[in-house]
Amino acid sequence: SLILAVLAILAVCGLAVVIPAMRWSPAIIVSALIFLVWICIAAFFRDPDRKVPVNLSVVLSPADGTVNDIELIKGETANSEKLKELFQGRDMLRIGIFLSVFNVHLNRAPVKMKVAFREYKEGAFHDARDGRASRENESMLVGAEGVCCDDIRFPLAVKQISGAIARRIVCPVKEGDLFGQGERYGMIKFGSRTELYLPAGMKFELAVTVGQTVTAGITPLAHIYPAAVEKIRQTQIVDAAAASEKEETPPV
């Protein structure tokens, strides 16, 4: 828990004050430091059990942390060709979440989803709150087909981004993998950033604001209402008709 992480930091600070005043042997000092390092690591990599409120009309947070930004991303400006293809060049709503070293660093599926692709990118290690982090830092992008109420499908993506401290992204997923809402799927070690991409055309009703604290698999980021579902259905009908027309058009 967060309490464990805070206690570990306080213990380290306490030892920094106490050790110089105590005439302990080097062996005791080394043992104490090793023990404290172990406590800190256990706190950083904790994996608390959570009762996920499964609700297909809600998009849950994929990470613990603080909402750092909410932005509309133009389809043509996306810095990934696979992301553009997934959203068919349409605009996206991006919700950026900053994870400090005190947060749980496991990522969870925001909705029931099927993985369409994963794309790793080498990059820099700017502070995760830096505006350059989204485009320039090392990252792992997972594109997926989400499922909401009435079995309506829609595109979504989750991006794990390394920070100045975090330099290890764990994401053992592959194309075709299925995840239930709130299910664990990856991790970013220590401080980092997670981004959720949703189709802007769905007109989700946001449930969070910038600066709000969120919990992976628990906090709703957006609500999907019947009007949004109907928007997806109509888009799918148009896309299917366009694809059919393209197939039927003979080559010139």
Known catalytic residue: 162?
A: no
Compute, in degrees rounded to 10, the torsion defined by CA atoms 211, 214, 219, 224: 40
CA-to-CA distance for 158 and 4, rounded, in angstroms? 28
Which of 201, 187, 18 is CA-nearest to residue 93?
201
Position of tokens 């302990």?
24
Spacing of C-alpha 252 from chain mean position: 45
Position of tokens 């694809």?
243
- The two tokens of residue 80 are 């990934």
Crossing angle of the two packed helices 2-21 and 26-44, in degrees rounded to 10: 160
Select which of 57, 134, 192, 244 is catalytic. Answer: 192
**93 HSE (CA, 13 A, CB side):** 14
C-alpha distances in Å from residue 86, one per residue of 20, 102, 147, 161, 211: 58, 33, 15, 19, 29
Residues in the chain: 252
CA-to-CA distance for 252 and 248, rounded, in angstroms? 12
Residues 6+ apart with CB under 8 A from 111: 56, 59, 60, 146, 147, 148, 156, 181
- The set of catalytic residues is 192
